[in-house]
A and B are shown apart, each in its own frame.
Chain A
Amino acid sequence: MRKILIFFYNLKPIWQFTFFFLLSIVILMMNPAKALYPIKANGVSLISEIRNITSYVKTNRSLKKENAELKKQLIKEIFLKNYYHDRFQENNRLRRLLKIPPLNDFNYIFAQVVGSSPYIGIKAFLINKGKNDSINANDPVISTEGLVGKILEVYDHSSLVEILPDRNIKISAKILRNNERGILKFYNEDLLLLDYIPKTISVIVGDMVVTSEISQIYPPGIKIGEVVAIDKKPQEHFQKVYVLPYVNFNNVNEILILKEK
């Protein structure tokens, strides 16, 4: 060991630099191979715990106020939950009478975001729930603001969530006001593009976009975003509808994974 250190110290600075730089590049390239994934996940968990403490100290002043607000909101939500549960049961009874398959109900798995994507070019979050918590690939992921994305990869104690601003994402979505369906896909870091909506269909800025009934991954009716711009070109059959997601992807900490009952 000592000999290696002496040899290393005797090298010219340019060679010392080259050695460490190449080592960094090799480690960087190994990331997609997941070779360092357990070390990375542990590092993230550790710092996430420490950060939780400091965040607590920072927000302590506003906690009481927030708590009071949440209690008020909780009472309202419990009332609404019971109300909608009755409506849900009634709806399913009527559907059965009309011989329409009943609506699915869901279990929710709570998870925390503990890191970002280890892959270059894939917009994703690392969450602290995995195979051991019954998470499967393609499970839909939501937050309080709306649709976040879907599970891309599952590991034993963590999973990777592909989020809406990823280039590969494609979702069957509809405009809530008129039930008009299209395919929602990546446009840029901030906006999504709802494509294949005929030009003859009325779309208004401010329309809400939700998941459609024909999606095989996402349950229908999950809020996605709001129409912010529409582009109708004379030579094209379809209009381009630009959608701003409701979820602020820079500030997602807690998410829910939907599991069909």
Chain B
Amino acid sequence: MNNKLVISGIGIILVLIEYLFSPFLNINSMIPDLVLVFLFLISVKSETGFTFMLAFLLGILQDLFNSDLIGISAAANLLALYFVSWISIKELTMTAFVWGLLLMGVVKYTVYYQIIFLQSEYSFLAIVFKFTIAHSIYTLIVGLFIFSLSRNLFKRYFNHV
């Protein structure tokens, strides 16, 4: 239980960090999704029910701070997590990290931007090419940076759980 509280606390801190530093990280109104990276990492070893609950709560928090539609990030996080749960990752290698996070990013931002631009003149593919892929790759690059810096920490966590 304590472990879950610590993980939830880290998630909340990440939401705050994400927006605290957003003026520095903002490229074309896109900020790297640290929460998505975090959700992917904990989904590898944590219980599915707990990660779904965390994806929902952190998504709601992201929406509150981001001032977009409340519930949109929660729904997108959950769908992304659901899709990534289909891949059974036994060991967190760099390849698994890249493909897993990329899949999550693509699913999340496809859902997210399709809802945001629901009544705009942008076509599905235009949204995918203009926003989904760009945002997913940006998140992946930042995720890779974080992962390579703290790889040992994650390994210790995964061995411990």
Closest 10 CB pairs of A and B: A115-B67, A43-B64, A28-B71, A27-B71, A121-B119, A24-B75, A24-B74, A13-B48, A20-B56, A47-B65
Selected contact of B85 from candidates A9, A13, A44, A120, CB within 8 Å: A13
User: Chain A, 40-53, contact with B by CB distance < 8 Å: what is the 0/1 string?
Assistant: 10011011001100
In the assembled complex, which residues on chain B have CB atoms less than 8 Å from the CB atom of A29? 71
Chain B interface, DSSP helix/strand/loop, else mixed: helix
Chain B residues close to A by CB (< 8 Å)? 16, 19-24, 29, 47-49, 52-53, 55-56, 59-60, 63-72, 74-75, 78-79, 81-82, 85, 115, 118-122
Bound complex: CA of A233 vs CA of B80, how far in Å?
Answer: 48
Selected contact of B49 from candidates A13, A30, A54, A120, CB within 8 Å: A13
In the assembled complex, which residues on chain A have CB atoms less than 8 Å from the CB atom of B60? 24, 27
Judge whether A120 and B71 touch: CB under 8 Å. no
A167 at the interface (CB under 8 A from B): yes
List 13 interface pairs A-B (beta carbons < 8 Å), by A numbering: A17-B52, A20-B53, A26-B71, A28-B72, A28-B115, A30-B71, A39-B70, A40-B67, A50-B16, A51-B19, A115-B67, A120-B115, A250-B29
Give how many A residues have a beta carbon under 8 Å from the other chain's beta carbons: 40
Bound complex: CA of A44 vs CA of B21, how far in Å?
Answer: 15
Residue of A nearest to B81 (CB): A17
Q: A20-B78, A21-B78, A28-B75 are in contact. Are A54 and B52 (CB under 8 A)?
A: no
Residue of B nearest to A120 (CB): B118
A-B contact count (CB 8 A): 108
Chain A residues close to B by CB (< 8 Å)? 8-9, 11, 13, 16-17, 20-21, 23-31, 36, 39-40, 43-44, 46-47, 50-51, 54-55, 58, 114-116, 118, 120-121, 126, 167, 188-189, 250
Judge whether B55 and A51 touch: CB under 8 Å. no
In the assembled complex, which residues on chain B have CB atoms less than 8 Å from the CB atom of A121? 118-119
In the assembled complex, which residues on chain A have CB atoms less than 8 Å from the CB atom of B47? 9
A9 vs chain B, min Cβ distance (A): 5
Bound complex: CA of A66 vs CA of B121, how far in Å?
Answer: 38
Bound complex: CA of A216 vs CA of B65, how far in Å?
Answer: 37
Bound complex: CA of A188 vs CA of B121, how far in Å?
Answer: 7
B122 vs chain A, min Cβ distance (A): 8
Bound complex: CA of A189 vs CA of B119, how far in Å?
Answer: 11
In the assembled complex, which residues on chain B have CB atoms less than 8 Å from the CB atom of A8? 49
Bound complex: CA of A26 vs CA of B120, how far in Å?
Answer: 23
Which of A8, A20, A29, A50: most chain B Cβ within 10 A?
A: A20
A8 vs chain B, min Cβ distance (A): 6
In the assembled complex, which residues on chain B have CB atoms less than 8 Å from the CB atom of A51? 19-20, 22-23
Residue of A nearest to B15 (CB): A47
Judge whether A47 and B19 touch: CB under 8 Å. yes
Judge whether A58 and B23 touch: CB under 8 Å. yes
Other 13 A-B pairs with CB < 8 A, given A31-B70, A43-B67, A54-B20:
A9-B49, A21-B79, A24-B74, A25-B71, A27-B70, A28-B72, A28-B115, A40-B64, A54-B21, A54-B24, A120-B119, A188-B121, A189-B121
